Amino acid sequence: MRDNLWRVVRMIASTDEHSNKSDIKQFQIQLDNGMGRSAYVCKKLDCLQLAQKKNRLGRSLRTHIPHEIFDILKSRL
């Protein structure tokens, strides 16, 4: 089943040790591998367009998904 899906992972980005903003978390979005909160999207154009239009990945991962991520996934079709 997971062979038919792409995995999108939200990871906590490394923070500067000297930063005073320790309570603000910066997230990084990765594809396919990594540890962290993840969501799956099917490998079809209509699924990908619907996920982008309705912000389904963003809501699932609880963060903003850059347009570049969707561009990368579209290029994999």
Domain CATH for 53: 3.30.1230.10
Residue 68's Cβ-count burial label (10 Å; 0-12, 13-18, 19+) is exposed
Q: What is the mean pLDDT of residues 5-29?
A: 75
CA distances from 37 to 20, 27, 28, 33, 44 (A): 25, 10, 11, 11, 22
Residue 65 CB coordination number (10 Å): 21
Task: Confirm if 70 and 42 have CB atoms less than 8 A apart.
Answer: no
> pLDDT tens across 45-64, in order?
999 999 999 999 999 999 99
pTM (whole model) above 0.85: no
CA distance 35 to 44: 25
- The count of structural domains within the chain is 1
Range of the domain at 43: 2-75
